[in-house]
Structure 1
Amino acid sequence: MKRIKKNFLFLLFSFSTFMYAQKPTDVLVTINDSIYTVADFERLYNKNIDVIADESQKDIDNYFELYKTYKLRLQHAYSLGIDQSPKVQQEFAMYRKELAEKYFINEKELNRLLDEALERNKWEVNASHILITVDEFAVPADTLKAYNQAIAVRSEILKGLPFEDAAVVYSNDLSAKHNKGNLGYFSVFKMVYPFESGAYNTPVGAVSMPIRTKFGFHLIKVHKKRPAPKTKRIAHILVETKDKEQGDAQKKINEIYKRLEVGDSFFDVAFHFSEDIHTRDNGGDLGIYNEGTLNIDGISDILYELNFKDAYSKPFASQYGWHIVAVTDIKEQPEEEDLKANFLRKIKSDERSKVLEKDLMDHLKELYQFKVNTENLSKTVSLLNRTELMNQPKVEQTKETESVVAVFTDNQITVKNILDHIYSFPNKYAATPTDELLVKKAFNFYTLQKLKETYNSNLERNFPEFAHTLHEYKEGLMLFDLLEEKIWNVTANDTVALQNYFEQHQSNYTQPAHFIGEVYVFNNKSDAKTYHKLLKNNYTVKEADFPMVYKYQGRFYRNDKRLPENLDFNSLGKKVIKWNNLYYVFYLRDKKDSYEPAFEEVKSKVITDYQALFEKQFNEQLKEKASIHANQAVLNQLKTKYNKKNLN
């Protein structure tokens, strides 16, 4: 539900800034005394234009109707007080927190990380690793112990121990027992940032020094670096080995390969012969290939060498059987300008964000003219009551505890602030070995917290787009709750109305006829008739004795593309059927005619259909009660601008 809600809100209520042909403040429409401007309409239209599936909705007149409905539903939500509901308030607060985090960024460091990522994106690295685990927040002694263990393993490798053997013996990564530490090829953003940097910065053939990540220390051996491949859409043909001898599978894949060599299209050959039932009907299509997403032995190196459209490989074996893989479409790597927006989002969400946070804090200290009184900070150590730490002692207000440790803008941090913070979170600091280190850690943490709080409280004032996005998101939450309460829940629970709707539209839910069995396809009519006769009389038939073109088996519906059109299911199996100069023989094991299902069988589909009708009626009722006045002149200007643009 949470994912559905986020997608729903994204499509309807996230906005971008654009340039306008009209004045942004021009009134487009007045609805129940509320005024809506060109700027408001264009933000919504321009944001959603690329994700609208129904082309007719891109027409300004059609979209204007959707816009008015959207505003009417929002007005209704406000009138019901949904904006004040605890649920909306809570979710809004959570979203603000998430959105605010994206503003805690040092732009200079962000650009450095962006340039670094764009450069790394040009290359792929093939590497292995050995992991010595240690907790991210381990005490220094445990951290040192793990580091020294990693150094010792590295020394053995440099003295001649094969890296693969060392991975099996020493690595705490459980997968090393079967992959010997090999991670295959990867590129930027595929690994945690410190590991990625270690891999890209280690020369080919070398073993890195221990690289610290949140998992522990890694030794990385880089096997190869190669230019990043082009973007490829791929397809495959599979002959499985699970139910047949290896030799039989290899023989079959070689026969299939010969068909490609004499000019048969890959789509047709995959359609008729591939044993991958999930991709066969689409010509073996596997979609866009991304390194590491297909667990098929050997496919990475094979695909890397296929560098033009319609190229296909020789047969190769994997853990599933025998494959032939083809490139059905190919594109050059995107230009850097096209990658930047996506890369920026990734940088802000992965471990690079920790680098950004540190730089932000340095920036905030400078921005807010942060100054520390080291003498008073030292006093804090002497006032720390370490023996009573876990009892969370109360800090009395005295001249010493009110001493100022740091100042920034109109704020100050006192000794009491630091001690109160420590005693409020004793478990956070109890394991710190010395009082001096404890106070230092607490002061740094508390300082960063206060700087961020000050910065955070000014976001709406300093960043107008932040305030605007928050407002639109809140209204999105309101609208979602309105629809959930007034439409979705009402219709889903109204069993009488659902049953009536089903009875009135029962023909829409008719289940199609189908049969289960085999279909044999011949070029020669005589062969087809002979084969049909043998099957009809239950003779044991050797398929190898008959030169059939295709053989299909399984469950078949009328719209199956492999079957002749307009089949009479009642006559199937009784005679040979000719279609497109081929002859079809059917052997039926089971057959079901079309039938009218019971309500419970199709209840979920009925609910969806009834909800759509109920929502349409709900919208119409809002329009009937509303007072709507559109500025036709402004609307016509928008139509001229956008309808012409959409045609181009």
Structure 2
Amino acid sequence: MKKLVVAIVLCFSSIVFSQKKDKVLLTIDGDKTTISEFKRVYEKNLDAIDNEEAKDVQKNLDLFINYKLKVKEAYKIKLDTLPSYVKEMEGYKNQLAAPYLQDTSYVNKLVKDAYYRTKNEIKAKHILVRTPRIATPKDTLQAYNKITEIRDRIVNGEPFEKVAEETSEDPSARDDEKSGRKGNQGNLGYFSAFKMVYPFEEAAYNTKVGQVSKPFRTRFGYHILKVDSIRPSKGEVEVAHILLTKETKNAKQLIDSIYNRLEKDEQFKALARKYSNDTGSKSKGGKLRKFGTGVMVKSFEDVAFSLEKEGEYSKPFQTRFGWHIVQLIKKHPVPTFEDLKTDLKSRVKSGARAQLSEKAVVNKLKKQYTISENKNAKEIFDNKKIRDIAKDSLQAVILSINEKEITQEAFVDFIKNRKNKSVYDLFEDFKDQEILAYYKENLEKTEPEYAYTLQEYKDGLLLFELMQQKIWEKSSKDTLGLKKYYNSNISAYNNKEFKKVKGQVMNDYQNHLEKNWIADLRNKSAIEVNKKQLKKLIKHYNK
């Protein structure tokens, strides 16, 4: 019910944005409504109206006046101060503000980049120098200097793989004697969009084939990478497999016998259900979820993507898991940009890239706002027990954004439960948050469309509360009034028994109450319509 009322109000509410030449059409108790305000509401609904009578300007003006009177009454009895209303409006404000906190052009660029990186896979190797989870400026500098020295060795001619094996702090780069695992010497194989943390992906796709990147940072530490090649993506493949694990007795003989039975036209599904040791897929005839490159072990992936025809199956082959036979179910090439656009945009907005879009907004705002930091107030950063400083000692202004002053207390509250970064890095996050908060606080002043829509929601929720109090609750509780109305209008219901027409009677009674209430509101209000401007409007729309 509430959503319905809000939707109706979106059709009948507006906010005045004064224009020098905009004439006044309506005045209610001194509050003026301009022609442009009414036209905006009226024209907004024209496409949804399918009969000429409902398009009548005078009738729409009457409905508009009724709406204005109701909203005015809601504010008069302070429904806008109800805790439930305030809480719900806060949710709507955040929801409506969200698009303004994203840089649309930047999001579009990220989506296009993501599609290119989905269409084209990149093969790279990397070296990592880790930084502590809470890195001080000293930790960061040490890691940066170390990765720079490592890069210099490679640029001066040492093989990347050799240096990676010697220096990389990624454990997968070196042999593991305990498990017998062979190190990858920094080789990552092929990957595409969304497979790596974004800064890594960004560095890889912005480094030319054969070149070594400049040092860059992720949440793991500092990296350098070298791009080996780039190729069109193979898309995804859907396969079924039969697996005989290494523990299977006479596995090689058994897998060969299964292959021979396939060659004699026995069903792949039936053999998978009977013999496969993969408990997750055997009940489905060996069927696996579709996958792209970089998901399965390379030998399995190579065989799966080498199959060309649906239903075709491979010869037995071995991976570290055991012996397999793979059957192709379907190949899924990368869809077109138009087909993938919605999904990519959703992934961009919900992942780490969303922060980049938000950061782009912050960077724009930094150029628009006057922002100053108080160096003396920032001396608390050197206090190792900063989170325990008494509030009374945290009243100095640490940051100013235009006329808004923010104290040390707000910053210490911000970092109270954030211990994953240094205080200096956290202050940069805090500053960005405060800039966005200031922008949101002032959105109604800077973004007319946002202000207009927000006012619609405010009025809609108020109207819902008002109608609930004045009409719906009253009609449901006033059983005597309801019966009296029924008895007075029984002929309209063809003398049917009350309980058989109760729903219709209730609806009619609510309309009756509302009509009387509106009449009362009109009697108590001074309503003045500029007839000259109304005639012009009618003439304009009659054309």
TM range (shorter): 0.5 to 0.7
Q: What SS does the aligned partner of 1:156 have?
A: helix
Q: Is the 8 A contact 2:120 2:230 kept in 1?
A: yes
Cα distance, 1:326 vs structure 2: 1.8
Cα distance, 1:431 vs structure 2: 7.4
CA distance in 1, matches of 2:300, 2:455: 46
CA distance in 2, matches of 1:384, 1:184: 46
Q: TM-score, normalised by structure 1?
A: 0.48
CA distance in 2, matches of 1:214, 1:281: 41
Q: Partner of 1:485 in structure 2?
A: none
Q: CA 1:442–1:105 in structure 2 vs 1: closer, same or farther (change >3 Å)?
A: closer
**Which of 270, 280, 287 in structure 2 is aligned with 1:285?**
287
Q: Partner of 1:317 in structure 2?
A: 318
Deviations 1:6-33 (A, max 9, x none): xxxxxxxxxxxxxxxx97579xxxxxxx
Deviations 1:58-94 (A, max 9, x none): xxxxxxxxxxxxxxxxxxxxxxxxxx999x9989978
Cα distance, 1:176 vs structure 2: 3.6
Query: Does residue 413 of structure 1 match 2:404?
Result: yes
Cα distance, 1:365 vs structure 2: 5.9
Structure 1 residue identity aligned to 2:338: E
Q: Partner of 1:449 in structure 2?
A: 437
How many percent identity over aligned positions? 32
Query: Does residue 372 of structure 1 match 2:360?
Result: no
Structure 1 residue identity aligned to 2:129: I
**Which of 193, 201, 206 in structure 2 is aligned with 1:196?**
201
Q: CA 1:198–1:25 in structure 2 vs 1: closer, same or farther (change >3 Å)?
A: same
Q: Is the 8 A contact 2:242 2:325 kept in 1?
A: yes
Q: Partner of 1:627 in structure 2?
A: 503
Query: Does residue 254 of structure 1 match 2:222?
Result: no
Greater shift in the superposed pair: 439-448 or 98-107: 439-448
Q: CA 1:321–1:440 in structure 2 vs 1: closer, same or farther (change >3 Å)?
A: closer
Q: What SS does the aligned partner of 2:171 have?
A: coil
Deviations 1:214-257 (A, max 9, x none): 2211122334422111332111122232032xxx3222222322
Deviations 1:312-356 (A, max 9, x none): 222210122111112112233211111111111111122222321
**Which of 107, 110, 124 in structure 2 is aligned with 1:110?**
107
Q: CA 1:91–1:309 in structure 2 vs 1: closer, same or farther (change >3 Å)?
A: farther
CA distance in 1, matches of 2:107, 2:49: 35
CA distance in 2, matches of 1:624, 1:212: 73
**Which of 142, 146, 149 in structure 2 is aligned with 1:145?**
142
Cα distance, 1:201 vs structure 2: 2.4
Greater shift in the superposed pair: 283-292 or 93-102: 93-102
Q: Partner of 1:125 in structure 2?
A: 122
CA distance in 2, matches of 1:170, 1:344: 38
Query: Does residue 231 of structure 1 match 2:231?
Result: no
CA distance in 1, matches of 2:141, 2:321: 44
Give the RMSD, CA atoms, in angstroms: 4.8
CA distance in 2, matches of 1:199, 1:143: 22
Q: Is the 8 A contact 2:101 2:436 kept in 1?
A: no
CA distance in 2, matches of 1:186, 1:626: 66
Structure 1 residue identity aligned to 2:259: Y
Aligned pair count reads: 376
Query: Does residue 187 of structure 1 match 2:192?
Result: yes
Q: Is the 8 A contact 2:273 2:286 kept in 1?
A: yes
Cα distance, 1:440 vs structure 2: 9.0
Structure 2 residue identity aligned to 1:310: G
Structure 2 residue identity aligned to 1:372: T
Q: CA 1:311–1:160 in structure 2 vs 1: closer, same or farther (change >3 Å)?
A: farther
Cα distance, 1:130 vs structure 2: 2.2
Q: Is the 8 A contact 1:381 1:439 kept in 2?
A: no
Q: CA 1:165–1:97 in structure 2 vs 1: closer, same or farther (change >3 Å)?
A: farther
Q: Is the 8 A contact 1:136 1:213 kept in 2?
A: no
Q: Is the 8 A contact 1:260 1:266 kept in 2?
A: yes
Structure 2 residue identity aligned to 1:236: H
Q: Partner of 1:172 in structure 2?
A: 169
Cα distance, 1:119 vs structure 2: 1.1
Deviations 1:514-546 (A, max 9, x none): xxxxxxxxxxxxxxxxxxxxxxxxxxxxxxxxx
Q: CA 1:92–1:338 in structure 2 vs 1: closer, same or farther (change >3 Å)?
A: farther
Q: CA 1:432–1:251 in structure 2 vs 1: closer, same or farther (change >3 Å)?
A: closer
Q: Is the 8 A contact 1:418 1:443 kept in 2?
A: no
CA distance in 1, matches of 2:401, 2:117: 41
Deviations 1:93-145 (A, max 9, x none): 78975885454101111111111111111112233322211257633332121
Q: Is the 8 A contact 2:310 2:329 kept in 1?
A: yes
**Structure 2 runs not aligned, ≥5 long:** 1-45, 51-81, 175-180, 462-498, 508-543
Q: CA 1:383–1:329 in structure 2 vs 1: closer, same or farther (change >3 Å)?
A: closer
Cα distance, 1:466 vs structure 2: 11
Q: CA 1:162–1:381 in structure 2 vs 1: closer, same or farther (change >3 Å)?
A: closer
CA distance in 1, matches of 2:100, 2:359: 13
Q: What SS does the aligned partner of 2:145 have?
A: helix
Q: Partner of 1:213 in structure 2?
A: 218
Structure 2 residue identity aligned to 1:256: I
Greater shift in the superposed pair: 278-287 or 172-181: 172-181
Q: Partner of 1:56 in structure 2?
A: none
Deviations 1:542-570 (A, max 9, x none): xxxxxxxxxxxxxxxxxxxxxxxxxxxxx
Q: Is the 8 A contact 1:193 1:351 kept in 2?
A: yes
Q: Is the 8 A contact 2:414 2:430 kept in 1?
A: no
Q: Partner of 1:38 in structure 2?
A: none
**Structure 1 runs not aligned, ≥5 long:** 1-21, 27-83, 472-622, 632-648
Q: Partner of 2:347 in structure 1?
A: 346
